[in-house]
Chains A and B, each alone.
Chain A
Amino acid sequence: MSAADGPVVFDPADFGPIPRSAELRKWMRKVRRGKADRTFWQQFEDVYLVVFALAMVGATGGNVVRHLNENSASCTTTSCLLVLDYVPLILFPLLVAGMLRILLSVGPVSGSRATGFWLLATPLDRGAVLMPAYRLVIVVAAVIGALFAVVGFAVFGASLWFVIEATIVSTALLVCVACATVWAQQSPRATRWALRIADGLLVLAAIPAVALAVESRENAFSPEPEAVLIGRAYSIPGSSSGLPIHQQRALVIGTLGLAVAVAAVLMTARSLRRLPKPSVVAGGELLAGMAGAAITMDVSLLADVVAGRHWRTVGRLKSRRGRGERVQAIIHREFRRVLRWPRRLIVGAGLLVVPYAVAGTGYDVLVPLAAAFAGFVATRPLMDGLRSVCRSTGLVRALGMDLRDLRVAMAVVPGVFVLLWTTAAAPALGDAPTAFAVAAGILSGVVRQASARPPSYAGPLVASPMGAIPPGLFSQPIRGFDLLLLCLLPVLFDLGPLWRYAIPGAVLAIMFSVRPKTA
């Protein structure tokens, strides 16, 4: 067109009707297929590998669960049976709270930045564009609900029909939770309320956990006959007509659960067009970041992505002046930083029920291990400061301190938290040397994981079926847990108190004396 033709004038009448989302997707599929550079057989091989791997994992996992179920079902102690009573009261609130948080952190309906830019900004029916993502959310929630119930209840020795009922309830419940989060995604206010409900459910889950811990310790030495108590908990007498009553109950629960879930899914689908683009795209970006972290098997990066999103959402805070200078200033700032996100402290304190609950079940050998892992999960979020400096040479340079000294300074506040946490868990752990080993394991583990550098693709790479990978890639997920287990070795091998002080003490001393490398 030449300049003489004048400016282009757009007349809506010149355009046809807005295409349906399905038509557009069909067109995009066609275009993509035209650019495909892999043959059918190559794709078939990939699918075969995935299906085969899933079948292997499923079969192995199923076998493990079946064995655990048989073992737990034959447990005759009062503590075991108490666990069966309390499991639903602990697991369901935890499940719902966890799903609320996870789903809301990614949207739950999310789309890539490209989807946001190219599709959501057009007059296309937004509900239809987002429908595939919505279906995925529902399917994922249903699968997680089913798996959680099957594993969660089976390993504690519940009967087949009870597991089936729990699975139906759990699946329907999580589908409804997913629908609720999609509703909540429509407005920040609703999202905040949903998060508050999640917090409330966490507290709710802690109550039976504490009760279980207390009651188990009281009854630890008074075993009751298995049949009587299992009968009380899960066996249901037969019905005089037709199906046994437990099957009738499962049928009713299944029908009701299905009806409620389907109704919720259909009703929520109609609200998709009201979802705001920023929340949809933000979730997509978070998922992309997490996928990147998962590909590099960098657990710390996963935590960074989530924390980064949280602080971007917060955006603005009242600045607090520091105190002191040099190391004292760093420690003070870390202290303020920890207080800045109190939910992490509450969750950390809530995790104290883990060692007590495990001690309550009578599996004493597992208590230090469970305590150490729970303590690790409780403490790791407090290491964000160390994570920031370890991934940025520029930040270390700006602070003007040696990274080794910075690491010690930034471990002081989490170290105090670990001390308090293990002191509170000490009655479940038994003796002081074991508590020391657990504390040293938690601290050395979290510090090592937080100090991890991301895998470098700049150096030599190793050939693998996944392509060229850096040599350190596969050690990323176990980084931190290696030191934790090393500190627990004298406890797990039942060595004397001297070893329980010496080995973890040496691990701590060596770890803090080594100068970490920055990214």
Chain B
Amino acid sequence: MKKAAARLAVTGLRHLYADRPVIEDLTFSLAAGRAVALVGPNGAGKTTVLRCIVGAHEPAAGEILLDGVPIDERAETVRRDVAALLDDLDFFPDLTAAEHLDLLARAHGNPEPEDLVDTLLDDVGLLAAADQLPGSLSSGQRRRLALATTLVRPRKLLVLDEPEQRLDTAGVAWLAERLQEEKKAGTSVIFASHDPDLVEAVADDTVELTPLA
């Protein structure tokens, strides 16, 4: 696959924690409308790769391109095009679930997000909890709300770290279906997962990572 055609291109990625390498010379690419899954045991560096892609970590070496341009989380285009769900998402303690989605949609330039918010709340099974504050949501409901935050905004690249976490069986099935729809709509998806069924259902390619000695 040509680099110019790739939505996301990772070349020679290397990352260290202190002096210990956790990612070494990782190269892969992802085209528009396709999905790649990062698989491997705990500590293999899946989350680290995702954090490098969204700019939360500065790689020690290598290049990450989004639509042919080096990714920089400060760039407006990156903030607009990359929707990510990592483990660093927090919530406003005094905004309800519906208000979070409403705010995010508006912050991304959607002046009339009411219908979209209602649909999404219904999709993720939070319609009954729309008026609840994050502190009163269960961990599973918070995870669903976090997933919804990536879907309420415009996106070209979806970055998801173990999106199946804390979802029940029906929730994982819904997620697989939803990610398929995202691909059909032209969104590229990169996700780390321990769920073989989800990987099987969504991923066009897999990148297998192993812990470095």
Query: A-side interface residues toward B, CB under 8 Å?
Result: 307-308, 311-312, 314-322, 324-326, 329-330, 333, 337, 340-341, 384-385, 388, 391-395, 397-402
Contact = CB atoms under 8 A, between A and B. Distances in A.
A393 B96 CA distance: 20
Pick the most buried of B85, B89, B153: most chain A CB atoms within 10 A of its CB. B89
A333 B95 contact: yes
A311 B103 contact: no
B84 interface: yes
Contact of A321 (B73, B83, B102, B153): B102
B119 to A, nearest CB: 15
B149 A398 contact: yes
A316 B103 CA distance: 18
Contact of A402 (B79, B108, B110, B136): B79
Given A312-B136, A394-B84, A399 B104 contact: yes
A321 B99 CA distance: 7
B56 interface: yes
18 contacts: A308-B135, A312-B93, A317-B131, A322-B106, A325-B111, A326-B106, A329-B106, A337-B92, A388-B90, A388-B93, A391-B90, A394-B85, A394-B88, A394-B89, A398-B153, A400-B80, A401-B107, A402-B76
A315 B131 CA distance: 9
A311 B93 contact: yes
Nearest to A393: B88
B43 interface: no
Query: What are the 5 A-B residue pairs with the smallest beta carbon separation, nearest first?
Result: A329-B106, A394-B89, A392-B90, A312-B135, A394-B88
B133 interface: yes
B157 interface: no
A319 B103 contact: no
Interface residues of B, number: 44
Contacts of A322: 99, 102-103, 106
A400 B106 contact: no
B137 to A, nearest CB: 10
B8 interface: no
B130 interface: yes
B99 A315 contact: no
B114 interface: yes
A209 to B, nearest CB: 30
Contacts of A391: 90
Nearest to A323: B106
Interface string B112-139: 0010000000000000001111011000
Given A326-B107, A392-B88, A317 B93 contact: no
B106 to A, nearest CB: 3
Interface in B60-96: 73-74, 76, 79-80, 82-96
Contacts of B111: 324-325
Pick the most buried of A312, A326, A394, A395: most chain B CB atoms within 10 A of its CB. A394
A400 B84 CA distance: 10
A67 to B, nearest CB: 44
B23 interface: no
A316 B89 contact: no
A504 B86 CA distance: 39
A330 B106 CA distance: 8
A414 to B, nearest CB: 15
Contacts of B109: 325-326
Contacts of A320: 99
Nearest to B129: A316
A333 B94 contact: no
A320 B106 CA distance: 13
B54 interface: yes
B88 A400 contact: no
A311 B131 CA distance: 13
A306 to B, nearest CB: 11
A399 B76 CA distance: 11
B79 A397 contact: yes
B98 interface: yes
Contacts of B84: 394, 397-398
A337 B153 CA distance: 22
B93 A333 contact: no
Contacts of A394: 84-90
Contact of A312 (B86, B133, B150): B133
Given A307-B93, A397-B54, A314 B133 contact: yes
A315 B98 CA distance: 14
A313 B195 CA distance: 36
B91 A395 contact: yes
Contact of B107 (A337, A385, A400): A400
Given A337-B95, A400-B80, 5 more contacts: A322-B102, A337-B92, A341-B94, A400-B153, A402-B79
A384 B93 contact: yes
A311 B133 contact: yes
A333 B99 contact: yes
